[in-house]
C-alpha cells in the first residue's frame, strides 16, 4: 500500500542510527528484514513490524498508528 510504504519510510528516515535495521529503501518494503505484509489484497498492507533486538530507543512514533493493518509490533 503506498500509504503504508510512506509511513514506514518517514519513520525509517527519522531513525538514528538507521544501520541497525539493515534496510534498503525501495518501493517494496515488504521484503525488508522484519517487515511482513498481507499479500492477499491488491495492495500489500504491512501487518507485522519486528524491530526487536535492533538497539532502537525512544517512544513509538505516532505515525506508525497510520499502519491500520499492523497487528504485531
- Residue 59, all three cell numbers: 517512544
pLDDT score at 49:
93
The conformation of residue 72, written as its DSSP 8-state character, comes to: B
pLDDT score at 17:
77
Q: How confident is the model at residue 34 (pLDDT cuts 50, 70, 90)?
A: very high
pTM for this one? Answer: 0.81
**Torsions phi, psi of 60, nearest 5?**
-75, 125
- Residue 45, all three cell numbers: 498492507
Q: Across-strand partners of 35?
A: 49
Tell me the C-alpha distance between 27 and 72, whole Å: 22
Amino acid at each position: 500500500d503506498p500509504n503504508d510504504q510512506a509511513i514506514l519510510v518517514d519513520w525509517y528516515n527519522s531513525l538514528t542510527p538507521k544501520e541497525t535495521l539493515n534496510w534498503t529503501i525501495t518501493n517494496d518494503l515488504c521484503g525488508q528484514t522484519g517487515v511482513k505484509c498481507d499479500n492477499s489484497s491488491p495492495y500489500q498492507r504491512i501487518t507485522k513490524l519486528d524491530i526487536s533486538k535492533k538497539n532502537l530507543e525512544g517512544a513509538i512514533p505516532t505515525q506508525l498508528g497510520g499502519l491500520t493493518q499492523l497487528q504485531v509490533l
